[in-house]
Amino acid sequence: MNDIKNRYRLRTWLLDNFLKVGLVSFLTVLLVVTGYLYPSLTPFVASILLTLFIIKTSIVRVPSIHFGEYRVFDERTGDTVGEGLHWCWLWQRIHLHDASVKNIEIKESFTTLDEVEAKLKGTVQYRVDDKNAAKFADFSEDTIKKGLSDLVSSELGIIAGLHEYKSFIKDRETIQLIIDCILCLKKVPHHDFDEVREREALDEPDFQNLLADEKIEFTGKSIKPKSRIEFYNLFSEEIKALLKEELSNRNKNSAVESKYAIDIDHFALADVGWTDEFKKAMEEDKKAEAKVKAAKQTLELIKKIGDLSDIPPTTALHAAMAITNNTSHQTIAVEGESGGVMPIIRPSIAAADDDD
């Protein structure tokens, strides 16, 4: 369950109850003294003191960056109040909700059209919907995180299978805009482009002709997955304006906001890159390619050395491997009395030391 704080934190509770005990003691002494000195005024003074006590115990302050939820005998009523002083009857309690912005980290992996295993990392910033705090209390933070992650993963999976990896690097700002829309907007532009069309001040046939001219594929009012990045690139300013309006109008909630009783402020895309597993596989492939390339160079040199002189095949092999730096042996040329040169292959001293 989400942390629903009672209005009495430890320090506040002790101070509040200390003041209450002090106030009750003072009023009791005052009532006794009044009754002793002025018996006829006792009912009047008692009623005033009782009224003051009720007022004192019934006024509750909701601190800044919080909002309060009324509960009757610990049952939720659905009524909420903002910061400041509020009236609370003796049978009521006001429970506090933290209204500050919270962060949830999203990490998702996906496979692109060119079979690159990529990962996306970002942060969703949200706060509790103060009009539906009771519903928010039913969900844990892990539940909300999983719901947001599943939504982002689903959208990425649809797009990624139709675009190459480089698109996610080149259009990362557009990817962030798409995720922002599915998290924040009640009517997602690529599911229903009417709001974008209205901002363009075009009727539906003209807008559809514009999409066709830009080679953006659509069905009805929905943009096909293959064309979504191009659609958001073309109408990025209009879509950003829709997002800005939504943030200023908290009455329009997206499907995921309504589901978890939250208000999402923003999705911040931190990184798009290869997954660790894919990166390791790429490094292994590069090493294998390097070995194959070195082997081919060695074979070519063996052939060239053999064509140039009557060098034994084994000697030619060692010489070729030494030239391509693909061996731990050393090749030494010894000049004979007749002016000829004889190569001598011997193990490298460093390599021998390493073996020891």
pLDDT at 79: 78
102-274 in CATH: which number?
3.30.479.30
Give the residue with greater pLDDT, 186 vs 58. 186
Instruction: Tell the burial category of 346 from Cβ atoms under 10 Å away from its Cβ (0-12, 13-18, 19+).
Output: exposed
What residues form DSSP beta bridges with 103? Answer: 125
pLDDT tens, 140-194? 889 999 999 999 888 888 888 898 888 888 888 999 999 999 999 989 999 999 9
pLDDT tens, 330-350? 555 554 555 444 555 455 544
pLDDT tens, 205-262? 999 999 999 999 999 999 999 999 999 999 999 999 998 888 777 777 889 999 998 9
Mean pLDDT of 120-125: 89
Give the residue with greater pLDDT, 99 vs 11. 99
Mean pLDDT is lowest, of 99-103, 169-173, 303-307, 347-351, for 347-351
Give the residue with greater pLDDT, 112 vs 298. 112
Give the residue with greater pLDDT, 52 vs 329. 52
b or e along 296-323 (b: 16 or more beta carbons within 10 Å of the residue's beta carbon)? ebbeebbeebbeeeebeeebbbbbbbbe
Max mean pLDDT among 97-101, 193-197, 315-319 falls in: 193-197
Closest Cα partner for 142 from 105, 179, 97, 188? 105
Q: Where are the domains of the chain?
A: 5-98, 102-274, 279-355
pLDDT at 9: 45
pTM as predicted: 0.62
What HEC string does 21-83 produce?
HHHHHHHHHHHHHHHHHCHHHHHHHHHHHHHHHHHHHHEEEECCCEEEEEEECCEEEEEEECC
Tell me the residue length of the chain. Answer: 356
Mean pLDDT of 75-86: 77
Closest Cα partner for 55 from 21, 87, 25? 87
Q: Is the pLDDT of residue 305 over 70?
A: no
